[in-house]
Structure 1
Amino acid sequence: MDIVGRCASFTRSRQARSLGLYPFYSAFSGRGPGAARTVGGRDVIVCGSGDYLGLAADPRVTEAAAEAVRRYGTGSSGSRLLNGNLDLHEQLEDELAQFFGKPAALVFATGYQAGLGAVAGLCRTGDHVLVDQEAHASLVDAARLSRARVHWFPHNDTDRLAAGLKALPGNGGRMVVVDGVYSMRGDLCPLPDLVRVCHEHRATLVVDDAHGAGVLAEGHGTCAQYGLTDDVPVISLTFSKAFASIGGAVLGDKAVIEYLRHYARPLVFSAGASPANTAAALEALRIVRDEPWRGRAALDNAHRMRHALSALGYRVPPGETPLVPVDIGDELRTAVAWKLLLDRGVHVNAVMPPAAPACLRASFCASHTREQLDAVTAAFADIREPLAALALPENGLTASHTSHLRLPGTEDSAETWAAGIRHLLP
């Protein structure tokens, strides 16, 4: 089959849509109070957003973005290396470095590019990169593109990491890549052990703090939460979560940042971040600095919902971040739960393999009101009975019934899929 033909044979998304069980690419068309947004012409409470501090619609942030467009125009119009470098970029870098307690920072157009630039930009042929198996996809891609030899270690298993580092051949550089807060489980990396292991084996530790920066430790992030900011050579982060924008940054020593300014290909060969996005991130950073209560509010709301959902009988792991995964079961039950909640005015994220084992990934923000959280709790309570009533085939749930909710390809026919789903629905 040719490549275009392979695309034409992809029918799973259409089948899931026809059954109302396609949980991706929801089209939001507006914002309401608190964490309310509009999707499909109706208001829903969004419990999956990365807008942890509720700043994406803050008038101070939106006005900063608008003023930047009036002053600089809509784009940077070139690579920062040549003609797309704005004084606004450098101002943001200075304030990021100061706030996070690192000597220097480098701003990229996206958070994905920041992680890619840090890992692939610092490594070369002959080096070794050791990556946590649950690290974000951008870090996985960065390791593969780095020209270094890539090794994987089990999630948060520092003993296996130490053994892997000890067994490495040659004299090449060694890098360890982890998330500060893991985006699917919402769990923290074991940073003290990681720092110790990397120090013992002379490895450079890179922590991507997309979900911790702006929230944990009065906004200073995961490394500050552990009191280890000075012990982590390279930190990357994104602006698309707590900082209410698009973009990202790498923080580290001045020598590291100067090197990346010339060797990070996503920076050198991409236009600089837009004026609006840069100004929005800068204003959000200043709000994070001046209003640390926002991070605490997000964590308090997540703590409350963990307890509420656990009390309803849902499987919710303990945690201390805004991310709250809810284990519903297999892919089908997860998709049905997503649809039942949406029908009740609650939008959560349905996670499917291969990204992670199937679950509902909720997140809670400073902007969630008490009334909204009560409504979310009531919706989860309301769907317990229809979820329990899902009828399973005599031989249990098989791949032929659920494979079309998966991303990997299968040969199951549309008829098999539709018949299986109809049989399983209450």
Structure 2
Amino acid sequence: MLAELEAGLAELSEQYLLRQRRVVQGPQGTRVQVDGRSLLNFCSNDYLGLANDARLRSAASMAIVHYGVGSGASHLVCGHQLPHEQLEARFAALLGLPAALGFGSGYMANLGVITALLGRGDAVFADKLNHASLNDACLLSRADFQRFAHNDLAALEGLLARCTARRKLIAVDAVYSMDGDLAPLPALLALAERYDAWLYVDDAHGFGVLGEGRGSLAHWGLSSPRLIYLATLGKAVGGAGALVAGPQAVISWLQNKARTAIYTTAALPAQAAAALAALEIIASDAGRRSQLQARIAQLRTGLAASSYRLLDSPTPIQPILLDSSAQALQLAQALWQRGIWVAAIRPPTVPSARLRITLSAAHSEAEVASLLAALLELERDIA
């Protein structure tokens, strides 16, 4: 087996698909220390610049003093502490939904929700650009797993019209993590209502950014008992974990049946306390979102006349499509040498190689200008 693994790793390297980690030697921010170097950071999903915010650090520190470090057990045993309860209640209230349930991560939430709601004899319909965690959840549910072309409503309607399953669920990302575009949630909800289905929305990259911070449902003005909503706490919220909100019966069912919520130790109470502080900032500080939109506009305007293929994204995720994985790695390396960190994303994560630029409210105009100058300097090398 070792020989086969070594050969497989060599093949990945030859195809420019071998992945390696870099060690960040300090807090997240627009400038990070990596391998002894100070780099401008355009990789992070810290869209509102909260990952190292003093208020979140203070909330976490005070929670550690009061509750200690570990929760000690799963939520249903004795690990469900006051910060967990307060976070779930505040999140549900912010969204205007009846109830919410916490999970250790967005991946755990997707696995828990879909496998708890669906089984043999049911059907789940998923966009082909969904996050890997949604795909894994659909497979593990043992439901009939049917995928439709990205945002292809006609294809989805055809699948729904032919479906005779007992229970049907449409699962989509609200903001697609590698393209940055939005799912047409109003039309998807209309199809769910027409064909007696549920709509499950993974808003990992929309919560905190869209809808005055309340996410994609607020952005589109949607409300329905057929909606189940997920937000992760590791992007705009600046921490870690995830929350799922929806009808009380759904949340109570998940509390009893979602294995990834039941059979795992509860998250650190300090983690919940920090997320609770972040929710208050998101609800009250519109200036961060305005600053973020200004940096998005600056980047898009600065590349408009270039030969770069920038995808049509209104979000902090701004991908540049490239011809090959080799080209993506070469451009990322050239930026790295200039002190700028941008992730090269390659198959199988995405169908086509790209640089995935992510912007933050904490980025200054000068920092984005430095990225633009470097990209335009390198433009002739990738033509």
Aligning the two structures, in what range does the TM-score lie when normalised by the shorter sequence? over 0.9
Mark the CA change 1:16 to 1:340 in structure 2 (over 3 Å): closer, same or farther.
Answer: farther
**Matching residue of 1:27:** 23
Secondary structure class of the residue paired with 1:139? helix
Aligned-residue RMSD, C-alpha: 1.9
Alignment of 1:270-281 (within 5 A): 270-281=264-275
Mark the CA change 1:107 to 1:327 in structure 2 (over 3 Å): closer, same or farther.
Answer: same
Alignment of 1:5-404 (within 5 A): 5-12=3-10, 15=13, 24-31=20-27, 35-169=30-164, 171-230=165-224, 233-356=227-350, 357-388=352-383
State how far apart, in whole Å, the 1-side matches of 2:7 and 2:280 are: 49
State how far apart, in whole Å, the 1-side matches of 2:204 and 2:218 are: 14
Secondary structure class of the residue paired with 1:38? strand
State how far apart, in whole Å, the 2-side matches of 1:328 and 1:9 are: 27
State how far apart, in whole Å, the 1-side matches of 2:14 and 2:301 are: 32
Report the alpha carbon displacement of residue 13 of structure 1 after superposing the two structures with TM.
Answer: 8.6
Secondary structure class of the residue paired with 1:45? strand
The structure whose Rg is larger is 1
Report the alpha carbon displacement of residue 100 of structure 1 after superposing the two structures with TM.
Answer: 1.2
Mark the CA change 1:15 to 1:22 in structure 2 (over 3 Å): closer, same or farther.
Answer: closer
Letter in 1 for 2:358: S
Report the alpha carbon displacement of residue 230 of structure 1 after superposing the two structures with TM.
Answer: 3.5
Secondary structure class of the residue paired with 2:309? coil
Unaligned runs of 5+ in 1: 389-426
Segments ≥4 residues shifted beyond 6 Å: none
State how far apart, in whole Å, the 1-side matches of 2:298 and 2:11 are: 35
Mark the CA change 1:125 to 1:136 in structure 2 (over 3 Å): closer, same or farther.
Answer: same
Contact 1:128 1:173 in 2 (8 A): yes
Report the number of matched residues.
382
State how far apart, in whole Å, the 2-side matches of 1:329 and 1:207 are: 31
TM-score (norm 2): 0.95
- What do the CA deviations read for 1:253-304 (whole angstroms, capped 9, x no partner)? 1111000000000001111111221111111111101112212322221122
State how far apart, in whole Å, the 2-side matches of 1:203 and 1:257 are: 17
Contact 2:73 2:79 in 1 (8 A): yes
State how far apart, in whole Å, the 2-side matches of 1:373 and 1:58 are: 21
Report the alpha carbon displacement of residue 23 of structure 1 after superposing the two structures with TM.
Answer: 6.3
Contact 1:105 1:252 in 2 (8 A): yes
Contact 2:151 2:183 in 1 (8 A): yes
Unaligned runs of 5+ in 2: none
- What do the CA deviations read for 1:375-399 (whole angstroms, capped 9, x no partner)? 11111112123334xxxxxxxxxxx
TM-score (norm 1): 0.86
State how far apart, in whole Å, the 2-side matches of 1:8 and 1:80 are: 41
Secondary structure class of the residue paired with 2:77? coil
Percent same amino acid among aligned pairs?
Answer: 36
- What do the CA deviations read for 1:86-116 (whole angstroms, capped 9, x no partner)? 1111100000001111111001111111122
State how far apart, in whole Å, the 2-side matches of 1:281 and 1:311 are: 40
